Structure 1
Amino acid sequence: MTQGASHRSRLRLIVIQTLVFSLLATLGVRLYYLQVISGETYRGQAASQSVREIVVQPQRGLVVDAMGRPLVTNRLTWVVSVDRTLLGKMSEADRAGLLERTGEAISVDVAKIERRLLLCGDAGAVAGECWNGSPFQPVPVASGVEEAAALRILEQPEDFPGVVVEQQSVRAYPAPYGVNAAHVLGYVSPITSDELDEAKEAGDSSVNGASVVGRAGVEKGYDEWLRGQPGYQKVAVDSKGRVRQDVSDLQAQPGDTLVTSIDAKVQSVVEEQLAAAIAKQRATRDPVTKRNFEADSGAAIVMEAHTGRIVAMASQPTYDPEVWVGGISEKQLKRLYSEAAGNPLLARSFQGQFAPGSTWKPFMTVGALRNGYAPDTVLGCPSSVQIGNRAFHNHESSAYGSVTFARALEVSCNTFFYQVGMKFWQRFGSDPDDTDAKDPLVEEAQAFGFGERTGLDLPGEASGRVADRRWKRDYYESMKDYYCGIAGKPQDAKTSDFVYKFSREFCVEGWKYRLPDSANFAIGQGDTIVTPLQLARGYAALANGGILYEPRVAKAIVSPEGKVIREIAPKKERRIKASKQVLKYVDEALQGVSTRGTMAWKLGGFPLEKVKIRAKTGSAEVYGKQSSGWVASYTEDYVVVMMMTQGGTGSGSVGDSVRAIWDALYGVVDGEVRPSKAAIPGTTPPSELPVFDEDGSILPPAHREEGKR
């Protein structure tokens, strides 16, 4: 080897040694930086990765009646959850074995457990079954688990690694006096992913992926008060996801208690009487159709006349709110939305819309007396009147000669009110194309709140409909293509003669508001529809001197410690522009309905001299169906309204049940008023709230002073 070659070899060796030394020096400096200078930071980050946050759900607030009786409470149930993190670290065989053993223990299909373990948003996730909560929190796969199954898992932890068993709070319905009140109370169900996203955007920390939220009734209307505030527990876990120790704990805050104006005892009476009336009519033959009455639905309301507070409210068909606890089955859900089952979820009392029939006439009387007619006005009450080419009849074609408004209300004379409606049409709006023509009867109906929501503090209220000229024009515009499509083709076997003829007439001039429309409007027939709640509020205005209240179910919000957070006072919406003389005239006429009119045969023996019941019966005709019956009534204290679809005449279908409710409200026994027998102590609802003691006990308002002592 030459001297030059040897020199180059030494240079290469020096370069390599320099590079190796530089790399070692760089590595040493980097290790010193990571371990010494930044060591504390990285140790903190490593520790934080072993700490998980678990959401602790709050106990939902109670719902009680005006006397403090619990309507909705909570109970403990066994819940089985699975830790997804630990499950993900298992082999496929171990995972399958664990899920199979768990499913067998709690009697749940493995496929169902798999669906519940999927995070919402993952491929294959099924809405309503997937997990909305934290991926690091055990996922509930079964609730309401039998205690024996829960204890088996707890006693054999080696066979169920990652399976968590604990007792959680779920809704319970004590049903004092056997009440149902499902449409008033509502129900809860798990929060959806969309709702959770909306809550996050709004900065709402009171809900999380494992929350349940109100879906109907007061559960939804007062959800923000009832739901409480979740707590958060931080725990340290090992490499297998097993909890080793608690790091920190933020206690959950229970929800507030909702005090309602509902009286459980009255609610029980109302529910029983509504159900009894329907059962009776279903066993009764309809003299018109020659078959038994369908009596397919009904509603009843008891309202405080001077506050608008709801004392009782029932609807039929109804459902058991317990079906939602712990998750509802697909079969149960289909039934709740089934037409064959009568759509049990529909609250007929404030969501159902029906023709009011003759219960409409007192409001038409007020409108007539305020626009040219007088209390001593006398009109004929023949068995029928001819309007165009059609005869419009009284119910059962009865004739009563010449009568006043008062007598027309007592005997419910249709032909009398037909004439009133026609007179206003001829006077103000004889042009059927004029949608802006004045109509005093329409204006009066709107003044009493019909055609708009009452402002009830429950969700989903219907608005009803006042079928005036403008509505008829709008309806024509929305439906003309449909009916003109039928009329433009030859009649087929599927189209009845009535529908085909109606379609041809509607297509040609369906927007015109003619004389028969005005006549029908005056007796509560035609296209006008109301909710039972709207009717009750209207009669309350007749009872209290003309004030329309926004109906309320809630009375107060009380903290878990018993402190009144908010009292919910009655809210006046407006006053009816009717004189005291007019309202008094109608009031006295409705007393006549009870003593010698269409309701008198159901109130025989009732002490009307002590408890003056004003009433109006009504029978609404619906094409293709049996008549629907109404009774609207009131005293100085209460309004009682009950109705039944396809049940026949008003007094004939629900008259006995309305009488029974009045007996209960005033404690009437053998024709005598006995306040001690009244459903509500003292006969009228308490103005005070129940007493909430520090130990959690609730005393009725009547014991307020005793409770303080």
Structure 2
Amino acid sequence: MSPHRRRRMLSGRRHRSPRPQTGPVRPPTARRASMVAVQLLVLVLFAALTARMWYMQVPQAEHYRELALASHTQKLIQPAVRGRILDSSGRPLVTNRTELTVTADFHTLLNQDDDGAAVLRKVAKLVELPYEKLSGRVRLCGPETGRPCWQGSPYQPIPLAEDVDPRVALQIMERKSEFPGISAQQMAVREYPHDELAAQMLGYLQPITQEEFEAREDLRAEFSGVDRVGRGGVEAVYDERLRGDSGTRILSVSSQGDVSGVLKDAPSEPGMHLVTHIDTGVQQIVEDALESAVEGAQAQGKPTDSGAAVVLDVRTGGVVAMASRPTYNPEVWNGGIDAETYDRLLSEDAAEPLVSRALQGQFPPGSTFKPTTLAAAVESGSPLHGAYSCPGSIGLAGRSWQNFAGGGYGTIDLHKAIVVSCNTVFYKLGDEMYHDYKRNGAKQGGKDPVSAMAHGFGYGKPTGIDLPHESSGRVPDRAWKHEYWKDTREHSCKMAKKGYDDEEPAQAAYLERLAREHCLDGDRWRAGDAINRAIGQGDMLLTPLQLARAYAAIANGGTVYEPRVGRAFLSADGERVDEIEPVKAGELPMDDRTLKYIQRALTQVPKEGTAAGAFGGFPQGEVSVAGKTGTATMQNREDSAWFASYAPADDPQFAVVVLIPQAGTGGAAAAPVARKIYEGIYGFSATGGDEQDGGAPSGPALPSGAPPSKLPDVRADGSVDQLDDH
């Protein structure tokens, strides 16, 4: 291209006319508004950023500091020393001891190729225990899992071997690479200086379960891997106060795992000591007397395999002693329980030693219920000082009702009816109250007189004792029978139609007839039900503890207390004392003259009535005993023996109740046990004289004849100053 033409083309581009605009031209004010909006947006974003930075650096500074340190710190929970359980004089019932324990981390074992089998075999050889036992201990418990197994959380260290030799623990800690997931640490375990004594009252400890751990996030801050919680007795009821507060130590850890310092150290707060109303000496006397009675009944060919006894302080409701046979040693729970022992504790063949008959066993009370019937009859209009017929048998409700052994006493008063335990007098009273209530039931507010009086005595509901798993007993009446019929009618109708092919013909016919009657009109409250209940038979059920509380109320003038095992809490340094005050649950619903009448009658039972044989030679002049025998019958079982009592009769202090199932009559089997208990409390010999007369006691268990009025003191060094004499 020529230079001339290039210049012409450039000149044409330079002078080309501009292309005309097709859109509107934005005015200057619009452009300024857009700029302002952009500036405002920038300012808002900058302010938000500034506020966020301030929030993270000031209010949340500590939070983010902890997060920053999290990967470089180690939090250790320091378990608190669990409080001791003491008797009323400060003598130890449950203490602590420290032992070296080899533990396993469940998840570390699970992540190994063989689920930790190889390392467990090494540990088993080292601690000289079977591999099968250790592998069982790291297995998590489930519905189909046998024992042993781990009941606690899989996030806690699982104890494998307890009380190991320090040299063994040192080998494990020094050779961690050979024992992945295995550790050794100090562990506090419960110690029972009296072995089986008061086992069901004291309870035991077990690991916290995974369900509990997940349900309560606060537990993660309270529990270390080897902590335990109460699972029975006062250990469970007062667990929080016994356990104390765990401490926390936060360590600074380098990337190599070395501890470089302590960032935070909050020491643990020891648990409080629980002082109970239990007297160790009286408890031992009760357990020995009960065991001797059960063995004696078995030697006579009786099918008894259990028994229960209760001693209450009638002035406070305090449980001075409470025993149940058979029993067990709570130390079996330490470190996990093996399958054989666990099965035995629940075995019917071993008579279920884990069950406390004193507050869970339910039996017809027999004639020990007669004071309740007497009070109900008098409150309903029967004359307190009237004359009553006591024939050998009586016809009521279309059948004949027999006196015990068929004997009669002619015309007697209610006083003698209690002393000689005349059934026919009380049968008649029960029948009369049944028909009177049937005619005038609306006046009683829905409850017949006996039912109302029984509930006033505290029967038919838990006593409120500070122990778990208490049975309620049963007071049968119209309302109860209707509910029972609704719950069982379907089964009764089915069995009435199907029959009982696995029974003997006569027994099968009897059971089939009962099932048919119950199916058709089992909700009817009949005269026979009321007559049976009047002497504590039929569907009436009580626990020994309920009966003891009722007789304690008779003794103290009518106040019904909630029984209490715990008396006070003492801090580990002795600076704090928290007493557990007695709780009044009610008053016996009878007037004073009726109550005094019953008291006088009960005083004569051990002197000239049904318990006179058991108390022959007992020094009634020094300590007068008031009581009532009872012989309870249950279908397909031998007679069960009761004796309910209190002493001294003129100034009551203790209520004592004894039950020996399937052992015979109350006067022959239960009253002698109560006598031994009173002899031990007051220091009398078996013949009523001193030790030279052949008596066993070396002195009274309670020299003052009463529980101690003072509480033991905690010394400056943490030991307990026991009361020498009270």
TM range (shorter): 0.7 to 0.9
What is the rounded CA distance, in whole Å, between the counterparts of 2:510 and 2:140 in structure 1? 55
Per the alignment, residue 536 of structure 2 pairs with 524
Per the alignment, residue 193 of structure 2 pairs with 174
Deviation at 1:58, TM superposition (A): 2.0
Per the alignment, residue 30 of structure 2 pairs with none
- Listed as ranges, the matches of 1:593-608 within 5 Å are 593-608=605-620
What is the rounded CA distance, in whole Å, between the counterparts of 1:437 and 1:120 in structure 2? 49
Deviation at 1:332, TM superposition (A): 1.4
**Which SS does the other structure have where 2:341 is aligned?**
helix
What is the rounded CA distance, in whole Å, between the counterparts of 2:447 and 2:101 in structure 1? 64
What is the rounded CA distance, in whole Å, between the counterparts of 2:447 and 2:138 in structure 1? 64
The answer for unaligned runs of 5 or more in structure 1 is 1-37, 285-291, 705-709
- Listed as ranges, the matches of 1:544-559 within 5 Å are 544-559=556-571
Deviation at 1:625, TM superposition (A): 0.4
Per the alignment, residue 706 of structure 2 pairs with 684
Are the structure 2 counterparts of residues 422 and 169 from structure 1 closer, same or farther at C-alpha, using a change threshold of 3 Å?
same
The answer to whether structure 1 residue 233 and structure 2 residue 249 are counterparts is yes
What is the rounded CA distance, in whole Å, between the counterparts of 1:461 and 1:568 in structure 2? 20
What is the rounded CA distance, in whole Å, between the counterparts of 1:634 and 1:120 in structure 2? 47
- Listed as ranges, the matches of 1:622-637 within 5 Å are 622-635=634-647, 636-637=652-653
The answer to whether structure 1 residue 362 and structure 2 residue 371 are counterparts is yes
Per the alignment, residue 101 of structure 1 pairs with 122
AA aligned to 2:541 is: I
Deviation at 1:453, TM superposition (A): 1.2
Q: Deviations over 1:546-569 (max 9, x none)?
A: 100111110001111113341011
The answer to whether structure 1 residue 374 and structure 2 residue 401 are counterparts is no
The answer to whether structure 1 residue 619 and structure 2 residue 641 are counterparts is no
AA aligned to 1:557 is: F
Q: Which moved more, 1:667-676 or 1:653-662?
A: 667-676
What is the rounded CA distance, in whole Å, between the counterparts of 1:459 and 1:190 in structure 2? 18
Per the alignment, residue 471 of structure 2 pairs with 462
Are the structure 2 counterparts of residues 467 and 235 from structure 1 closer, same or farther at C-alpha, using a change threshold of 3 Å?
same
Are the structure 2 counterparts of residues 48 and 642 from structure 1 closer, same or farther at C-alpha, using a change threshold of 3 Å?
same
AA aligned to 1:429 is: K
Deviation at 1:678, TM superposition (A): 1.5
Deviation at 1:296, TM superposition (A): 2.0
* RMSD over equivalenced CA pairs, Å: 3.4
Q: Is the 8 A contact 1:383 1:394 kept in 2?
A: yes
Q: Is the 8 A contact 2:311 2:319 kept in 1?
A: yes
The answer to whether structure 1 residue 423 and structure 2 residue 424 are counterparts is no
Per the alignment, residue 496 of structure 1 pairs with 508
- Listed as ranges, the matches of 1:72-471 within 5 Å are 72-82=94-104, 98-108=119-129, 129=150, 132=153, 134=155, 140-146=159-165, 149-150=168-169, 152-153=171-172, 160=179, 163-175=182-194, 180-200=197-217, 205-207=221-223, 210-237=226-253, 247-284=263-300, 292-429=301-438, 439-471=448-480
Deviation at 1:360, TM superposition (A): 0.3
What is the rounded CA distance, in whole Å, between the counterparts of 1:243 and 1:130 in structure 2? 33
Are the structure 2 counterparts of residues 340 and 513 from structure 1 closer, same or farther at C-alpha, using a change threshold of 3 Å?
same
What is the rounded CA distance, in whole Å, between the counterparts of 1:120 and 1:298 in structure 2? 33
The share of aligned pairs that are identical, in percent, is: 39
Q: Is the 8 A contact 2:481 2:523 kept in 1?
A: yes
**Which SS does the other structure have where 2:425 is aligned?**
helix
What is the rounded CA distance, in whole Å, between the counterparts of 2:260 and 2:342 in structure 1? 42
Are the structure 2 counterparts of residues 225 and 160 from structure 1 closer, same or farther at C-alpha, using a change threshold of 3 Å?
same
Per the alignment, residue 83 of structure 2 pairs with 61
Q: Is the 8 A contact 2:189 2:334 kept in 1?
A: yes
**Which SS does the other structure have where 1:520 is aligned?**
helix
Q: Which has the larger radius of gyration?
A: 2
Q: Which moved more, 1:77-86 or 1:350-359?
A: 77-86
Q: Is the 8 A contact 1:532 1:643 kept in 2?
A: yes
Q: Is the 8 A contact 1:133 1:208 kept in 2?
A: no
Q: Is the 8 A contact 2:79 2:223 kept in 1?
A: no
What is the rounded CA distance, in whole Å, between the counterparts of 1:43 and 1:377 in structure 2? 87
AA aligned to 1:492 is: D
Per the alignment, residue 604 of structure 2 pairs with 592
Q: Is the 8 A contact 2:493 2:519 kept in 1?
A: yes
Q: Deviations over 1:86-143 (max 9, x none)?
A: 8799x8699765443223112455576567668999xx99995276265xx7654332
Deviation at 1:522, TM superposition (A): 0.6
Per the alignment, residue 29 of structure 2 pairs with none
What is the rounded CA distance, in whole Å, between the counterparts of 2:634 and 2:293 in structure 1? 20
Are the structure 2 counterparts of residues 696 and 621 from structure 1 closer, same or farther at C-alpha, using a change threshold of 3 Å?
same
**Which SS does the other structure have where 2:359 is aligned?**
coil
**Which SS does the other structure have where 1:169 is aligned?**
strand
For normalisation by structure 1, the TM-score amounts to: 0.84
Q: Deviations over 1:463-483 (max 9, x none)?
A: 111001111111111111111
Q: Is the 8 A contact 2:431 2:530 kept in 1?
A: yes
Deviation at 1:74, TM superposition (A): 0.6
**Which SS does the other structure have where 1:641 is aligned?**
strand
1:671 pairs with 688, 711, 721, which one? 688
Q: Is the 8 A contact 1:77 1:144 kept in 2?
A: yes
What is the rounded CA distance, in whole Å, between the counterparts of 1:590 and 1:93 in structure 2? 71
Q: Is the 8 A contact 2:203 2:232 kept in 1?
A: yes
What is the rounded CA distance, in whole Å, between the counterparts of 2:64 and 2:701 in structure 1? 70
What is the rounded CA distance, in whole Å, between the counterparts of 1:479 and 1:96 in structure 2? 51
Q: Is the 8 A contact 1:319 1:345 kept in 2?
A: yes
Q: Is the 8 A contact 1:116 1:130 kept in 2?
A: no
Q: Deviations over 1:277-313 (max 9, x none)?
A: 01000111xxxxxxx2111221100101111111000
Q: Deviations over 1:218-269 (max 9, x none)?
A: 0011011011222223345566767676554332222111000000000000
Q: Which moved more, 1:464-473 or 1:54-63?
A: 54-63
1:646 pairs with 653, 662, 676, which one? 662
AA aligned to 1:48 is: A
AA aligned to 1:168 is: M
Q: Is the 8 A contact 2:359 2:470 kept in 1?
A: yes
AA aligned to 1:182 is: A
Are the structure 2 counterparts of residues 491 and 97 from structure 1 closer, same or farther at C-alpha, using a change threshold of 3 Å?
closer
**Which SS does the other structure have where 1:496 is aligned?**
helix
Q: Deviations over 1:302-325 (max 9, x none)?
A: 101111111000011211111101
Are the structure 2 counterparts of residues 679 and 396 from structure 1 closer, same or farther at C-alpha, using a change threshold of 3 Å?
same
The answer to whether structure 1 residue 563 and structure 2 residue 563 are counterparts is no
For normalisation by structure 2, the TM-score amounts to: 0.83
Q: Which moved more, 1:374-383 or 1:519-528?
A: 374-383
AA aligned to 1:454 is: T
Are the structure 2 counterparts of residues 354 and 95 from structure 1 closer, same or farther at C-alpha, using a change threshold of 3 Å?
closer
Are the structure 2 counterparts of residues 366 and 389 from structure 1 closer, same or farther at C-alpha, using a change threshold of 3 Å?
closer
What is the rounded CA distance, in whole Å, between the counterparts of 1:110 and 1:297 in structure 2? 37
Deviation at 1:632, TM superposition (A): 0.5
Q: Deviations over 1:433-487 (max 9, x none)?
A: 9997652122111111111111111111111110011111111111111111111
What is the rounded CA distance, in whole Å, between the counterparts of 1:360 and 1:119 in structure 2? 48
The answer for unaligned runs of 5 or more in structure 2 is 1-56, 58-62, 692-696
What is the rounded CA distance, in whole Å, between the counterparts of 1:88 and 1:338 in structure 2? 34
AA aligned to 2:371 is: P
Per the alignment, residue 719 of structure 2 pairs with 697
What is the rounded CA distance, in whole Å, between the counterparts of 1:70 and 1:592 in structure 2? 39
What is the rounded CA distance, in whole Å, between the counterparts of 2:174 and 2:725 in structure 1? 48
